[in-house]
Structure 1
Amino acid sequence: MTRTIVITGASDGIGAASAKQLHDLGEEVVVVGRNPEKTARVAGTLGVDSLVADFSDLAQVRELAASLLERYPRIDVLANNAGGVFGERTLTGDGLELTFQVNHLAPFLLTALLRERLLESRASVIQTSSAAARLFPRFDLNDLQAEHRYSSTTAYGNAKLANVLFTKELHRRYGDRGLSAVAFHPGVIASSFGSTSDGPWKWLYGGPLAQRLMTSTSVGGARLTWLALGKPGVDWDPGGFYANNRAARTSRLADDPAVAKSLWERSAILAGLEG
């Protein structure tokens, strides 16, 4: 049976690569991106549906969820792949720190709004996280907006750790109802990922050695594809974190259920949900 697979952040990078791989394997892929022209180009090349949403605007996330619910009676895989690393601390129109909102809060909200459809479909929810969740965070539940201490690297590490915490709490809350959640590190990908940042991130992703030293988008995309195609509990463990298609270590904080529960509750308030 052909499955419906929704991939956010699919207008380029590993999202676009995975969309092509899954489409070529016969799956029904829905391409979601921020940039209308790039999103339409990827979808048009594949001949698949597309939707546009800027995750720095939570109203657009709500519109995206409504459109998905209207169009698709099943959603078998939701790949929360959109994200980014940014420069100076910036507030969105929602009054929230940009890195936290785009990488964590927007996908948290989208998943919550699609929850009943995902449960009905016994779906997999895949979170594109990063090894930065273990390497760079200074995670503080009382400073999720980085008002007191900010750097682009720390903000990104905190957001990627939030992805893992969200994955584990999603599994704890809904795993017994058939929803499977997993997070993964795609590799250090040779893409435009760091173009909106400054300092070491911009040099790393845009420097002369980037293409030579980094993982290709096709390989990074294949890691997302592997999870999307895989059978939870057989090919990968729900609630887990993966790198190179193998279970991997992440921050010790990710294993603290109290932290995951508190992050969930605070995220629900920030996203305007009841809980």
Structure 2
Amino acid sequence: MSTIVITGGTDGLGRALAAHRLRAGHTVVVVGRSETKFRELAKNGDAHFVKADLREVAENLRVTKEIATRFPVVDTLVLGAAYVHRDRQMTSEGFEHNFALYYLSRHIFASELQEVLGAAERPLILDTTVPGAPEDAVRWDDLQLERGYSWKIANLQSRRLGLLSAFRLASDHVRYVLYNPGFVRTSHQGALGRTSRAMVGVLAKLLGTPPEKAISPMLDLIENRPEVPLSAYLRGKRLELDAATAEEAERLHRETARLLGEVAKRT
């Protein structure tokens, strides 16, 4: 049996995946904010919960350290935490919300758990960062988007940063998949207005794939991981990866190390 770590595992896609792996007899570690939601999952199987606000760097570092200590081998890491803010929101550590949750959190998990992933026979990182952001999506001189913010700009930037991080972290042993699950019928967590939430709910019922069905391609990737270090998928369909260079990925690595160093100095 294997060990799988799932961020955002108390709702929607992550919850369905956690429930399936538990029924199959695997060890499941869920990272999320609601222990109440987790308790229903934990009734059967080897389930573990780590409570955290993954927008905060300190929380990500605390959680990854705890997981690495408790679970010396992690076979699969699923990065699926999501929460939508349409307006510009800042974390207590001074990071723009999308940058913090959709880039920094995923980067820290994938980086800090490299050793326990490396101890597995066939390790896989399955990241729900949607592939397909343009090369000019990153505002290198304004990563926190202080000027001209829009949700679309923030979303595209975090997706491009996710690709560059994956480009650097993927290896012949630890495979990395950028995975677009498509429109899934979930609770769509986020600070949405009443009208927006109602519209999303209607669309989800009409067009969304039920989570229990949407996890099928993910399970296939877990059982039959790709042969290349880094790949991208839309459901079960292999996609061409966006262009990325080692120089661009290294630039992001240096800038991320600088930002994390500043956080460490303040704590």
TM-score in terms of structure 2 length? 0.87
Give the whole-Å Cα distance in 1 for the aligned partners of 2:150 and 2:83: 14
- Choose the corresponding residue for 1:190, options 185, 190, 193: 185
1:246 to 231, 237, 242: 237
- Residue 214 (structure 1) aligned with residue 233 (structure 2): no
Corresponding residue of 1:54:
53
Equivalent residues of 2:9, 2:32 under 8 A apart: yes
Q: Which runs of 5+ in 2 are unaligned?
A: none
Partner of residue 150, structure 2: 151
CA distance in 2, matches of 1:50, 1:22: 15
Q: How far apart, CA to CA, are the structure 1 residues paired with 2:116 and 2:261?
A: 20
Moved over 4 A (4+): 198-204
Following superposition, the deviation at residue 75 of structure 1 comes to 0.7
Task: Report the Cα offset of residue 102 of structure 1.
Answer: 0.7
* Alpha-carbon distance, 1:32 to partner: 1.5
- Cα offset, 1:199, TM superposition: 9.9
Give the residue type in structure 2 aligned to 1:55: L
> C-alpha deviations, 1:62-103, integer Å up to 9, x for none?
221122122112111111111232121111011100111011
Residue of structure 2 equivalent to 1:165: 164
SS of aligned partner of 2:215: helix
2: CA distance, partners of 1:192 / 1:117: 31
Unpaired stretches in structure 1, ≥5 consecutive residues: none
Contact 1:77 1:125 in 2 (8 A): yes
2: CA distance between counterparts of 1:155 and 1:204?
A: 22
Contact 1:194 1:201 in 2 (8 A): no
Greater shift, 255-264 or 80-89, is seen at 255-264
Q: Displacement, 1:52?
A: 1.2
Equivalent in 214, 218, 221 of residue 224 of structure 1: 218
Corresponding residue pairs, total: 262
Counterpart residue number, 1:121: 120
Counterpart residue number, 2:63: 64
What is the CA-CA distance between 1:47 and the residue it aligns to?
5.2
**2:7–2:78 CA contact under 8 A, matched in 1:** yes
- Determine if the alignment matches structure 1 residue 261 to structure 2 residue 255: no
User: 1:136–1:157: 8 Å Cα contact kept in structure 2?
Assistant: no
Distance in 2 of aligned mates of 1:213 and 1:147: 35
State the distance in 2 between where 1:139 and 1:57 align. Answer: 21
Deviation readout 1:127-186 (Å, 9 max, x if unpaired): 11125x438983322222111121122212221232222222212xxx14x221111101
Whole-Å Cα distance in 2 between the matches of residues 141 and 215 of structure 1? 36
8 Å Cα contact 2:5-2:31 kept in structure 1: yes
Is the 2:232–2:238 Cα contact (8 Å) retained in structure 1? yes
Q: Give the letter for the 1:219 counterpart.
A: K
- After TM superposition, the structure 1 stretch with the greater mean CA deviation from structure 2, 264-273 or 159-168, is 264-273
Q: Which structure shows the higher helix fraction? A: 1
Question: Which residue number in structure 2 is paired with residue 112 of structure 1?
Answer: 111
Q: Is the 8 Å Cα contact of residues 137 and 154 (structure 1) preserved in structure 2?
A: no
In the alignment, the residues of structure 2 paired with residue 180 and residue 80 of structure 1 have an alpha-carbon distance, to the nearest angstrom, of: 14
Q: In structure 2, do the counterparts of structure 1 residues 116 and 93 end up closer, same or farther at CA, with 3 Å as the change threshold?
A: same
Report 1:124-139 matches (<5 A). 124-130=124-130, 133-134=132-133, 138-139=137-138
RMSD: 2.6
Partner of 1:205: 200
TM-score of the superposition, structure 1-length normalised? 0.84
Name the aligned partner's letter for residue 52 of structure 1: K
